[in-house]
Amino acid sequence: MVDIATRVYNHKWKIDPIVRSLIDTDFYKLLMCQSVFRNRPDTQVTFSLINRTTDIRLADLIDEGELREQLDHIRTLRLTRGESTWLRGNTFYGKRQMFRPDFMEWYENLQLPPYTLEKRDGQYELTFEGRWPEVMMWEIPALAVLMELRGRAVLAHMGKFELQVLYARAMTKLWEKIQRLRPLENLRVADFGTRRRHSFLWQDWCVQAMMEGLGEKFVGTSNCLIAMRHDIEAIGTNAHELPMVYAALAETDEELRQAPYKVLADWHEEHEGNLRIILPDTYGTKGFLKNAPDWLAGWTGIRIDSGDPAEGAETAIAWWKERGEDPRKKLIIFSDGLDVDVITDLAQRFAGRAKVSFGWGTLLTNDFRGLVPDDALAPFSLVCKAISANGRPTVKLSDNPNKAMGPASEIERYKRVFGVGEQQALEVMV
């Protein structure tokens, strides 16, 4: 097993670039990228880093030269022969050749496009512009670099023994969580922690701990590189990015209203089975389900990613019943702000009422709360989102208004079009 503390102490080694592979990314990004490559390849998008936790001044913590070095390194990466073989020949969700030959040929020749980096008011303004399939692949590595460099800055002055003790305490903390989850019957939990992980080595350790501690209850990881290395399932479907861009491209209010369903119609043509998971909260879950076409009720399940998770699941169950579907045969994936207590409560509440799975993110792969002075390693909310498409701003409403994004005038328009009324503001944990 890797001695993480020693590697952190020597993190200047060139052996330790933060992102070491083009498949050190989330599986859903590859699935979405293939869909975009097929349906909207020439759409011009801009992605931007957004730090929701403004009191963490990243530009004051992270050296700009080191940040540029890491980003520049990512632009040198190409798929290796082994990575290409794994993607081309492996079985994902029971389907062989998930990735089409034309997409794989494009991906094998991909170089991530240039970036723009500036400092403003203690924060980094990091943006990526270009064709959608290329630019979207920056999201996960960019977040991983910023998160790990922040951690390195905090740990930079610790000695070897101090680091050994820190990681021993963090390992113990995670193992105690695993022990608490182990007794839950019918538990299905996956690692969704790539985007805001403490580091690649730490995420890899967390996955190995889950494999040993939970056995078959641990169903896989969103990280493609880790999935390949440990021969476990790569987990993921789609994300808010697709409806946000489709909506921005809409010419009329009616086209805007139909945009989230157009996304899933395109997805429906490409995938089946467990990949048919609805993510309904981009412009409000209740309105989405109320106006959803009947064929969506036949999909495998729903992912709950904002708002009150129990309320979201109850809404989904009621909707399935209204549409003549048996909720007990459906899958509900919880993926927002999860930790052991929340997972336990939701698993017990919905046992026997639906199939339940958990995408455990930041508090799996980056929970160092209380382990260093001033809680300087506490996780924070950093995202990298599409902010425009073909020159038009994107909007996200979410079931939690604290996660909303976009120009105020467009947010009001979207609320009107999608019939979003009063919403309960919840703290954005991660």
- Position 86 scores a pLDDT of 97
Q: Choose the weakest-confidence range: 47-61, 135-149, 281-295, 410-424.
A: 410-424
Residue 362: phi and psi, rounded to 5, are -60, -40
- 236's tokens: 């993921």
Q: Evaluate whether 376 touches 154 at the Cβ level (below 8 Å).
A: yes
Domain parsing of the chain, residue ranges: 4-418
Sheet holding 301-304, edge to edge: 218-221, 189-191, 355-360, 331-334, 301-304, 277-278
Cα–Cα distance between 126 and 117 in angstroms, integer?
5
For tokens 């996780």, name the residue: 379
Cα–Cα distance between 200 and 330 in angstroms, integer?
33
- AA letter at 66: E
- Position 11 scores a pLDDT of 64
Banded model confidence at residue 324, pLDDT cuts 50, 70, 90:
very high
pTM over 0.85: yes
Q: Please write the tens of the pLDDT for every residue from 74-100.
A: 999 999 999 999 999 999 998 888 999
**Nearest of 144, 125, 149 to residue 47 by alpha carbon:** 125
Banded model confidence at residue 400, pLDDT cuts 50, 70, 90:
confident
Q: Please write the tens of the pLDDT for every residue from 294-319.
A: 999 999 999 999 889 999 999 999 99
Average pLDDT value for residue range 394-410: 89
**Nearest of 102, 120, 126 to residue 54 by alpha carbon:** 120
- AA letter at 207: V
Average pLDDT value for residue range 1-18: 73
Element (H, E) at 45: strand 44-51
Q: Evaluate whether 150 touches 104 at the Cβ level (below 8 Å).
A: no
Cα–Cα distance between 405 and 267 in angstroms, integer?
24
Average pLDDT value for residue range 181-189: 96
- 208's tokens: 């190995």
Q: Evaluate whether 200 touches 19 at the Cβ level (below 8 Å).
A: yes
Q: Please write the tens of the pLDDT for every residue from 197-222.
A: 999 999 999 999 999 999 999 999 99
- Position 15 scores a pLDDT of 56
- Position 127 scores a pLDDT of 98
For tokens 């409806």, name the residue: 243
Higher pLDDT pick, 49 / 4: 49
Neighbours of 89 (CB within 10 A): 10
4-418 is classed in which CATH architecture? Answer: Alpha-Beta Barrel (3.20)
Element (H, E) at 167: helix 160-181
Range 322-333 burial, b when 16+ CB lie within 10 A, else e: eeeeebeebbbb
Average pLDDT value for residue range 148-159: 93
Cα–Cα distance between 113 and 136 in angstroms, integer?
10
Cα–Cα distance between 413 and 37 in angstroms, integer?
29
Which whole-number Å values give the CA distances from 190 to 45, 137, 227, 328, 343, in the listed order? 30, 22, 11, 20, 12
Average pLDDT value for residue range 364-386: 96
Cα–Cα distance between 313 and 308 in angstroms, integer?
9
- Position 7 scores a pLDDT of 78
Q: Choose the weakest-confidence range: 11-25, 69-83, 96-110, 264-278.
A: 11-25
**Nearest of 197, 177, 201 to residue 187 by alpha carbon:** 177
* Res. 16: pLDDT tops 80: no
221: which strand partners? 191, 234
- Position 429 scores a pLDDT of 57
Average pLDDT value for residue range 344-350: 98
* Res. 60: pLDDT tops 60: yes
- 176's tokens: 């105690």
Average pLDDT value for residue range 117-133: 97
User: Residues 6 or more apart from 194 whose CB is under 8 A from it?
Assistant: 24, 25, 26, 140, 144, 203, 222, 223, 365
- 285's tokens: 């879950």
